[in-house]
Amino acid sequence: GAVVSQHPSRVICKSGTSVKIECRSLDFQATTMFWYRQFPKQSLMLMATSNEGSKATYEQGVEKDKFLINHASLTLSTLTVTSAHPEDSSFYICSVYNLGQSTDTQYFGPGTRLTVL
C-alpha cells in the first residue's frame, strides 16, 4: 500500500480566514494526488486532481480561487481554503495514486476536519 498523512487532523477557524491543509505521501513519490470533500452523512466528492509541477484540475462547481491547490513536490500537496465560511465546514480527504502498486488504486489520508465559525 501507501502511507498518506494529513496535517492538521482538525482545525477550527473564524469566518473570513484562510486555512492550509497538507497532504504528504510518506513512502513513495506521488505525481498525482486528489482532494475530496465529505459533508456529514454524505459520500466523498472529488474536488480536484493535483499534478506535481502543473496546475490542478478542478471538478465542475469547485471554485479554483477559493480552493487553492499546490503540488510543489512529489510528496506534498496543499489545499488552501481561502476566506473560509461556515458552509466550507467539512471533512477534507486527500489521496495518492500509486501506479506502481499491483493494486493500481488510490490510498487515502486520514482526513482533516475543518470547522468554520
Partner 1 sequence: DAKTTQPPSMDCAEGRAANLPCNHSTISGNEYVYWYRQIHSQGPQYIIHGLKNNETNDMASLIITEDRKSSTLILPHATLRDTAVYYCIVRVRGGGYQKVTFGTGTKLQVIP
Interaction between residue 95 and partner 1 (CB under 8 A): yes
Q: Which helix (H) or strand (E) holds 81?
A: strand 76-81
**CB nearer partner 1, residue 44 or residue 74:** 44
Stretch that binds partner 1, among 11-19, 68-76, 81-89, 90-98 (CB under 8 A): 90-98
Strand partners, 21: 79
> Pick from 20, 76, 89, 108: which binds partner 1 (CB under 8 A)?
108
User: Which residue(s) pair with 91 in the sheet?
Assistant: 38, 113
Q: Judging by beta carbons within 10 Å of its beta carbon (0-12, 13-18, 19+), is residue 95 exposed, middle or buried?
A: buried
Binding residues vs partner 1 (CB under 8 A): 1, 4, 6, 32, 42-46, 49, 91, 93, 95, 97, 99, 103-111, 113
